[in-house]
A and B are shown apart, each in its own frame.
Chain A
Amino acid sequence: MLAFIIRRLVQSIGVLLAVAFIAFAMFRFVGDPVNQIVSIEASPEERAQIRESLGLNDPFVVQFARYVGRAAQLDFGISYQFRQPVTKLLGERMPATLELAFVSAVFALVVGIPMGVYTALRRDSWLAKLFQAVSLVGVSLPTFLIGILLIYVFAVTLGWLPSFGRGEVVRIGDWWTTGFLTASGLRALILPSITLGMFQMTLIMRLVRAEMLEVLRTDYIKFARARGLTRRAINFGHALKNTLVPVITITGLQLGSIIAFAIITETVFQWPGMGVLFLQAVQNVDIPIMAAYLLLIAFLFVVINLAVDLLYAVVDPRLKVSVRAA
Chain B
Amino acid sequence: MSDAMQDRTEPPAQAEAAPAPGWFARMMDHDLMASFLASRVTVLAAVVTLVLVVLALFAPLIAPYNPFDPAEVFLIDSLTPPRWQAGGDPRFLLGTDDQGRDLFSAILYGLRVSLIIGVLGVMMAAAIGITLGLVAGYVGGRVDAVIMRIADVQLTFPAILIALLVDGVVHALLKGASREDTAFGVLVVSIGLSFWVQYARTVRGSTLVEKHKDYIQAARLVGLSPVVIMARHVLPNVIGPVLVILTINLGLAVITEATLSFLGVGLPPTQPSLGTLIRIGNDYLFSGEWWIVAFPGLTLAALVLAVNLLGDWLRDALNPKLR
Contacts and interface: CB of A to CB of B under 8 A. Distances in A.
Interface of A: 14-15, 18-19, 26, 30-31, 136-137, 139-145, 148-149, 151-152, 156, 163, 256-257, 260-261, 263-264, 267-268, 278-279, 281-283, 285, 287, 290, 294, 297-298, 301-302
Closest 4 CB pairs between A and B? A282-B168, A140-B305, A285-B172, A257-B158
B200 interface: no
B156 A136 contact: no
A261 B157 contact: no
A3 B308 CA distance: 43
Nearest to A287: B172
B259 A143 contact: yes
Given A137-B305, A282-B164, A285-B168, A144 B152 contact: no
Interface string B255-293: 100110011110000000000001000100110001001
Contacts of A285: 168, 171-172
B156 A298 contact: yes
A117 to B, nearest CB: 22
Given A145-B297, A148-B282, A279 B304 contact: no
Contacts of B167: 282
Nearest to A23: B165
Given A260-B158, A260-B161, A279-B265, A140 B304 contact: yes
B1 interface: no
Contact of A290 (B168, B251, B262): B168
Contact of B297 (A148, A156, A281, A287): A148
Interface of B: 149-150, 152-153, 156-158, 160-161, 164-165, 167-169, 171-173, 175, 251, 255, 258-259, 262-265, 278, 282, 285-286, 290, 293, 297, 300-301, 304-305, 308-309
A82 to B, nearest CB: 17
Given A18-B149, A141-B304, A256-B158, 17 more contacts: A15-B152, A18-B150, A30-B169, A30-B173, A136-B305, A139-B308, A142-B259, A142-B300, A144-B263, A148-B293, A149-B297, A261-B160, A263-B161, A264-B262, A281-B168, A283-B168, A297-B156
Contacts of A297: 156-157, 161
Given A18-B153, A152-B285, A283-B265, A145 B278 contact: yes
A258 to B, nearest CB: 9
A36 to B, nearest CB: 11
A260 B282 contact: no
A136 B307 CA distance: 12
A297 B169 CA distance: 18
Nearest to A149: B297
A47 B157 CA distance: 36
Contact of B153 (A19, A142, A264): A19
Contacts of B160: 260-261, 263-264
Contacts of B158: 256-257, 260-261
Contact of B301 (A19, A140, A256, A257): A140
6 contacts: A19-B156, A142-B262, A142-B300, A263-B263, A297-B161, A302-B156
Contact of A279 (B263, B278, B308): B263
Determine the main DSSP class of A at the interface with B: helix
Nearest to B167: A282
B165 A294 contact: yes
Contacts of B152: 15
Contacts of A302: 156
A296 B259 CA distance: 22
Given A136-B308, A285-B172, A148 B278 contact: yes
Contacts of A279: 164, 263-265
Contacts of A163: 286
A15 to B, nearest CB: 5
Contacts of A141: 301, 304-305
Contacts of A261: 158, 160
B165 A290 contact: yes
Contacts of B282: 148, 268
B98 to A, nearest CB: 16
A71 B165 CA distance: 19
A52 B53 CA distance: 57
A301 B153 CA distance: 10
Contacts of B304: 140-142
B34 to A, nearest CB: 23
Contacts of A294: 157, 161, 165
B286 A156 contact: yes
Q: With a 10 A CB-CB cut-off, give which of B251, B263, B278, B304 has the most chain A CB atoms.
A: B263
Contacts of B285: 148, 151-152, 156
B263 A260 contact: no
Contact of A264 (B165, B251, B259, B309): B259
Nearest to A157: B290
Contacts of A281: 168
Given A31-B172, A290-B165, A140 B251 contact: yes
A283 B300 contact: no
Please indicate which of the listed interface residues A14, A26, A140, A297 has the most CB atoms of chain B within 10 Å of its own CB.
Answer: A140
A267 B308 contact: no
Nearest to B171: A285
Nearest to B169: A30
Contacts of B255: 142
A260 B308 contact: no
Contact of A282 (B173, B265, B297): B265
Contacts of B300: 142, 145
Nearest to B309: A136
In this complex, the member of B153, B171, B265, B308 whose beta carbon has the largest number of chain A beta carbons within 10 angstroms is B153
Contacts of B168: 281-283, 285, 290
Contacts of A15: 152-153, 156
Given A145-B301, A264-B160, A26 B293 contact: no
